Amino acid sequence: MELFDQIDLSRVPEHVAIIMDGNGRWAKSQGRERIFGHFNGVEAVRASLKAATRSGVRYLTLYAFSTENWNRPKEEVDALMNLLVQTIVGEVDDLDRNEVRLHAIGDLENLPDACRSELFGAMERTRDNERVNLILALNYSARWEMTHAVKEIVASGIPASRITGQVISDHLSTRSFPDPELLIRTSGEMRISNFLLWQIAYAELYFTDILWPDFNEQEFFKALIDFQGRERRFGKTSEQITPRTGLNVIRRRKTGT
């Protein structure tokens, strides 16, 4: 049986986020420079987007470049930025044709001009697409995001007594998207690396030893199957959660369902 056939399409996570890790190690294993791994990682992005679309995932967020990545060797950073521009230019037609809407989160104003121009152009080109949302986290870190949100809240004059979790969420760069239900990290590393720290409070975490350039549709399906085998309680007990829908039993009784 194909892995895809083992997925219950009625219980697919609406939002999947991925920390794409292992490009450098993959390139080293091939006896090549690190950028060779990043170049080949583009195919894994295509495969993940295809698998997400086929499965019915509505939001796919990819950690493409963190604020800490500026500390890498200049040659690698420059090559990454050039690759990003080339990839956006090369993929925008397919994104538009497949009804994919492109978004970006992070400190976008401090990206190189060429990168920002192509990125904003692609976002505008795909803004009316509704099949799936591809969100690139660029020059992003969760601590930067939360610091930026606090500054916005203070500047808006909202008193401390009115600051709630929802107010904070409304000032994050992800305010237009639902929180991820599943976070995938490749390459065997088991850490979050400053990614969506607020938003993944109740996400299921899935770690795989697969290096990012080797991540494909089947690996994505494996993560979905693993996700569907878990019980998501959100602080409740197993007795309060129905096995199939995850809805609160008390709430179901009140609605008469």
Active site members = 21, 69
Q: Which two tokens stand for residue 61?
A: 């967020």
Using the Cα atoms of residue 231, residue 199, residue 108 and residue 33 in order, give the sign of their dihedral: negative
CA dihedral 252, 254, 255, 256 (to 10 degrees): 80
The continuous run of DSSP H or E covering 103 comes out as strand 100-105
Q: Which two tokens stand for residue 189?
A: 């590393």
Q: What is d(CA 213, CA 25) in angstroms, rounded to the nearest whole number? A: 10
CB contact at 8 A, 62 and 137 = yes
CB contact at 8 A, 215 and 186 = yes
CB contact at 8 A, 14 and 58 = yes
Buried b (16+ CB within 10 A) or exposed e, 125-148: ebeebeebbbbbbbbbbbebbeee
Q: Where are the beta strands (DSSP E) in 106-186?
A: 132-140, 182-185
CB contact at 8 A, 17 and 236 = no
Where residue 2 falls (left for φ over 0; alpha for ψ -120 to 50; beta otherwise) is beta
